[in-house]
Amino acid sequence: MSVRCVSATPSAYQYPLLIKQLLLTPLATVPEQEITYQGKIRYTYRTLKDRIGRLANLLAAHGVQAGQTVAMMDWDSHRYLEAFFAVPMMGAILQTVNVRLNPEQILYTLNHSEADLLIVNSEFFPILAEIAGRLETVRTVVTISDEAAPPPAPIAAIGEYESLLAAAPPDYDFPDFDENAQATTFYTTGTTGNPKGVYFSHRQLVLHTLGCAAALGGAPRQGHVHREDVYMPITPMFHVHAWGFPYLATMMGLKQVYPGRYQPEVICRLIAEEKVSFSHCVPTILHMILNHPQAAHTDFSGWKVLIGGSALPEATATAAQKRGIDIFTGYGMSETCPVLTVAHLDSAALARSPEDQSVIRAKTGRPLPLVDLRIVDDALRDMPHNGKAVGEVVVRAPWLTQGYVKAPEASELLWSGGYLHTADMGNINPAGYLKVTDRIKDVIKTGGEWTSSLQLEDVISKHEAVHEVAVIGIPDEKWGERPLALVLLKPDHVGKVSENALRHYAAHAIETAGISRYGVLLQVRFVKTLVKTSIGKMNKRLMRADPEALCL
């Protein structure tokens, strides 16, 4: 192939895709648009631009150079948004630290990423106290506090964010550089081993933003995200850039609302007072919000909520719709920036009942533009798209991590055969909707066939007595593995339903739904609690290790 590449006249601007350019349109068109932190702090995009400049000047004055790493420990805030822009725009790398990891893991990620400067909220001083003496590369600390009288920092700090910002000049000449420059890094929260670092370039984040804008803007009605929306994240900004939506919201010039630490009463208040119309979260968080007493007095109608991170039970989708929420699902993971698919409904589907709509709303979605998403067997051969055949989801897109930080073997495994391996199992129907059924490691192998733990969970969660459920595989002499449902009952149903009754209910529902014939081998146990990961997902690895310990 000898293609002819375009030649550029010497004066031509060969536009690199850089994060700073996401700010062009909002500053040119809606400079007075609002950004608020909890409704308590409120400023305009014009001020955002100034504060981004101030932050860059502050960091540069304290020796942060291009290629170095600035780590951030904060809840969702305007300050985080400022760092999303200022740090990469100066050519440095933003490490978004998962503050829900334990202190040892946080220490591991800060040392592993070679973080140079740390911006830390006083809420996390106890963590910092535990690890301060063992930080190998951090040489500068900036503190943040929402408190009038914050506690003293357990480590020498150069000062507090707001006062340092006020002292720094607002103008910073953000340079052009290679669009493949690394912009961000963060660590995935696997259930085994040390956290693994992923990383994204300016080019990747700009393309992810455009891809999401194209997908969410192209929706005819349902799930249409537009320039009059009010955006509030409820997926942490430390978790895959809050799914990239702060970049999207900024490029589109939306009003933005940052809620701080997720407290249901604050979230309900902000939705009402700030007229939030677009958010995203994991099912557990939505569950938590809708079940809070404050929710009974909150009008959620017209609130678009994109669900991801784990499967959305259809029952939750129906309950949310009945509250007026436009709930739908997306799919992605830390390694994929993250968004790969979105499950929009067309006009015909919107005419159906909430229950029928939930079947689509709870699917994992259809690929974004430029996303090459396949389901394949072990030899990377395509499985048929008939809505039944299950294969591993593998993908190519312009915004996937090109490896793991300092982990060449895991990186090659991730990209085996030139496709990123999600380790998710799923089917694709003729309309192109992906339905992720399980993590590869969560599939239950019974009698030599794969049974989907998620399908079984979906069936059981529809029982009126069930609050939450996790289905795991337990060793079985005859079948290899057989499924076990760990069920947390709703408080007012405890003692009114038996494990046996629920098992019969499930077996019947499984047969009716036409799920794997081995599903009927399901056992049911009531539990005191379910084990979750730091970001609210079911931790099946731990539950498998000793299910008996959880049971009533």
Residues acting as catalytic residues: 188, 335, 445, 450
The neighbour count for residue 114, using CB atoms within 10 Å, is 17
CA distance 411 to 180: 18
Q: Tell me the two tokens of residue 431.
A: 């309309």
CA distance 97 to 186: 6
Contact pick of 54, 79, 361, 366 for a second copy (by CB under 8 A): 366
| Residue 191 identity | T
Q: Tell me the two tokens of residue 482.
A: 């057989």
Q: At what angle do helices 45-61 and 78-89 cross, to 10 degrees?
A: 60
Q: Please tell me whether residue 174 binds a second copy under the rule CB under 8 A.
A: no
Q: Please tell me whether residue 19 binds a second copy under the rule CB under 8 A.
A: no
Diameter of the chain by CA atoms?
79
Closest CA to 88 of 66, 58, 72, 71: 66
Contact in structure between 489 and 469 (CB atoms under 8 Å): no
Determine the distance from the C-alpha atom of residue 202 to the mean position of all C-alpha atoms in its chain, rounded to a whole number.
19
Q: What is the b/e burial string over 430-442, where b = at least 16 CB atoms within 10 angstroms of the residue's CB? A: eeebbbbbbbeeb
Nearer to a second copy, 22 or 502 (CB): 22
* Binding map of a second copy across residues 75-104, x = CB under 8 A, - = no contact: ----------------x-x-----------
In angstroms, give the least distance from the CB of 29 to a second copy. Answer: 4
Q: Please tell me whether residue 228 binds a second copy under the rule CB under 8 A.
A: yes
Q: Please tell me whether residue 529 binds a second copy under the rule CB under 8 A.
A: no
Q: Please tell me whether residue 207 binds a second copy under the rule CB under 8 A.
A: yes
* Binding map of a second copy across residues 479-498, x = CB under 8 A, - = no contact: --------------------
In angstroms, give the least distance from the CB of 474 to a second copy. Answer: 36
Q: Please tell me whether residue 353 binds a second copy under the rule CB under 8 A.
A: no
Scanning residues 43 to 72, which ones bind a second copy (CB under 8 A)? Answer: 65-67
Q: Please tell me whether residue 177 binds a second copy under the rule CB under 8 A.
A: yes
Q: Please tell me whether residue 22 binds a second copy under the rule CB under 8 A.
A: yes
Nearer to a second copy, 203 or 463 (CB): 203
Contact in structure between 529 and 183 (CB atoms under 8 Å): no
CA distance 113 to 199: 10
Contact in structure between 19 and 50 (CB atoms under 8 Å): no
Q: Which stretch binds a second copy (CB under 8 A): 220-228, 293-301, 321-329, 490-498?
A: 220-228
In angstroms, give the least distance from the CB of 428 to a second copy. Answer: 8
Closest CA to 26 of 211, 249, 226, 252: 252
Contact in structure between 361 and 312 (CB atoms under 8 Å): yes
Q: Please tell me whether residue 505 binds a second copy under the rule CB under 8 A.
A: no
Nearer to a second copy, 1 or 296 (CB): 1
Q: Please tell me whether residue 383 binds a second copy under the rule CB under 8 A.
A: no
Scanning residues 256 to 285, which ones bind a second copy (CB under 8 A)? Answer: none
Nearer to a second copy, 143 or 204 (CB): 204
Torsion of CA 399, 404, 409, 413, to 10 degrees: -40
Q: Please tell me whether residue 182 binds a second copy under the rule CB under 8 A.
A: yes
Q: Please tell me whether residue 355 binds a second copy under the rule CB under 8 A.
A: no
User: Which of the 8 DSSP states describes residue 416?
Assistant: G
Q: Which stretch binds a second copy (CB under 8 A): 125-133, 324-332, 399-407, 511-519?
A: 399-407
Q: Tell me the two tokens of residue 232.
A: 């509030």
Contact in structure between 235 and 281 (CB atoms under 8 Å): yes
Contact pick of 163, 386, 416, 498 for a second copy (by CB under 8 A): 416
Q: Tokens 């600390």: give the residue.
A: 141
Contact in structure between 446 and 456 (CB atoms under 8 Å): no
Q: Which stretch binds a second copy (CB under 8 A): 172-180, 235-243, 256-264, 475-483?
A: 172-180
* φ, ψ of residue 176 in degrees (nearest 5): -80, 150
Closest CA to 440 of 427, 454, 425: 425
- Encode 320-373 in three state secondary structure: HHHCCCEEEEEEECHHHCCEEEECCCCHHHHCCCHHHHHHHHCCCEEECCCCEE
Contact pick of 101, 165, 252, 271 for a second copy (by CB under 8 A): 252
Q: Tokens 């015909």: give the residue.
A: 348
Nearer to a second copy, 141 or 252 (CB): 252
Q: Please tell me whether residue 412 binds a second copy under the rule CB under 8 A.
A: yes
Q: Please tell me whether residue 386 binds a second copy under the rule CB under 8 A.
A: no
By CB under 8 A, how many residues form the interface with a second copy? Answer: 85
Contact pick of 369, 389, 480, 537 for a second copy (by CB under 8 A): 369
Q: Please tell me whether residue 350 binds a second copy under the rule CB under 8 A.
A: no
In angstroms, give the least distance from the CB of 452 to a second copy. Answer: 22
Q: What angle do CA 486, 490, 492 make, to 5 degrees?
A: 140
Q: Please tell me whether residue 418 binds a second copy under the rule CB under 8 A.
A: yes
Q: Which stretch binds a second copy (CB under 8 A): 139-147, 218-226, 298-306, 446-454?
A: 218-226
Contact pick of 346, 377, 382, 511 for a second copy (by CB under 8 A): 346
In angstroms, give the least distance from the CB of 331 to a second copy. Answer: 14
Q: Please tell me whether residue 379 binds a second copy under the rule CB under 8 A.
A: no
Q: Please tell me whether residue 217 binds a second copy under the rule CB under 8 A.
A: yes
Q: Please tell me whether residue 381 binds a second copy under the rule CB under 8 A.
A: no
In angstroms, give the least distance from the CB of 332 to a second copy. Answer: 15
DSSP for 15-82, please give it: ----GGGGGHHHHHH-TT-EEEETTTEEEEHHHHHHHHHHHHHHHHHTT--TT-EEEEE-SB-HHHHH
In angstroms, give the least distance from the CB of 15 to a second copy. Answer: 4
Contact in structure between 262 and 123 (CB atoms under 8 Å): no
Q: Please tell me whether residue 149 binds a second copy under the rule CB under 8 A.
A: no
Nearer to a second copy, 26 or 309 (CB): 26
In angstroms, give the least distance from the CB of 393 to a second copy. Answer: 13
Q: Please tell me whether residue 420 binds a second copy under the rule CB under 8 A.
A: yes
